[in-house]
Structure 1
Amino acid sequence: MSERTILIVDDEVEIRNLMSIYLKNEGYQVVDAPNAVTAMDILKKQKIDLIILDVMMPGMNGIDACLKIREEHNMPIIFLSAKTEDMDKIHGLASGAEDYVTKPFNPLELMARVKSQLRRYYMAPEKDNSSPFLEKGDLKVDKKRNEVFVRDREVRLTPKEFQILSLLLRHQGQVFSIQQIYEAVWKEPFYKSDNTIMVHMTKIRDKIEENPKRPIYIQTVWGVGYKA
Structure 2
Amino acid sequence: MNKPLILVIEDDKAVRNLITATLETQDYRYLTAGTGRQGIQEATLKQPDIILLDLGLPDRDGIEVIQTLRSWSRMPIIVISARSEDRDKIEALDAGADDYLTKPFSVEELLARVRVTLRRMRYIQTQNEESPIFTNGDLKIDYSSGCVWLQDRELHLTPSEYKLLCLLAHNVGKVMTHTAILKAIWGSTLDSDVASLRVFMTTLRKKLESSTSSLPYIQTHVGVGYRMLRIEKPDDDAALPENKPHR
TM-score band, normalised by shorter chain:
0.5 to 0.7
Equivalent position SS for 1:8: strand
Aligned length: 157
| Corresponding residue of 1:96 | 96
Which residue of structure 2 lines up, in the alignment, with residue 121 of structure 1?
Answer: 121
CA shift in 2, pair 1:13/1:116, >3 Å: same
Residue 223 (str. 1) matches residue 193 (str. 2): yes
TM-score, normalised to structure 1, is 0.58
Letter in 2 for 1:85: E
Give unpaired runs (5+ residues) of structure 1. 138-167, 182-200, 202-216
TM-score (norm 2): 0.54
Q: Aligned to 2:14, what secondary structure does the other structure show?
A: helix
Q: Matched residues, percent identical? A: 34
User: How far apart, in 1, do the equivalents of 2:171 and 2:85 lie?
Assistant: 21
Question: In angstroms, what is the RMSD of aligned CA positions?
Answer: 3.5
Counterpart CA distance in 1 for 2:177 and 2:187 is 9
User: Shift of residue 220 of structure 1?
Assistant: 4.0
Paired position in structure 2 for 1:33: 33
User: Equivalents in 1 of 2:47, 2:22: separation in Å?
Assistant: 20
Report the equivalent of 1:155. Answer: none
Contact kept in structure 2, 1:67 and 1:96, CA below 8 Å: yes
Q: Mind listing any 5+ residue stretches in structure 2 that lack a counterpart?
A: 133-166, 198-247
Distance in 1 (CA, whole Å) between partners of 2:26 and 2:14 is 19
1:46 partner letter: K
Is this contact kept in 1: 2:10–2:34, CA < 8 A? yes
Q: Which amino acid aligns with 1:22?
A: T
Q: CA contact under 8 A between 1:2 and 1:27: conserved in structure 2?
A: no
The answer to whether structure 1 residue 5 and structure 2 residue 5 are counterparts is yes
Q: 1:171 to 1:68 in 2, by over 3 A?
A: farther
1:60 aligns with 2:95: no
Task: Give the deviation of 1:3 after TM superposition.
Answer: 2.5
Structure 2 Cα separation of the partners of residues 45 and 92 of structure 1:
23
CA–CA distance in structure 2, aligned partners of residues 51 and 78 of structure 1 = 6
Cα distance in 2 for partners of 1:23, 1:174 equals: 26
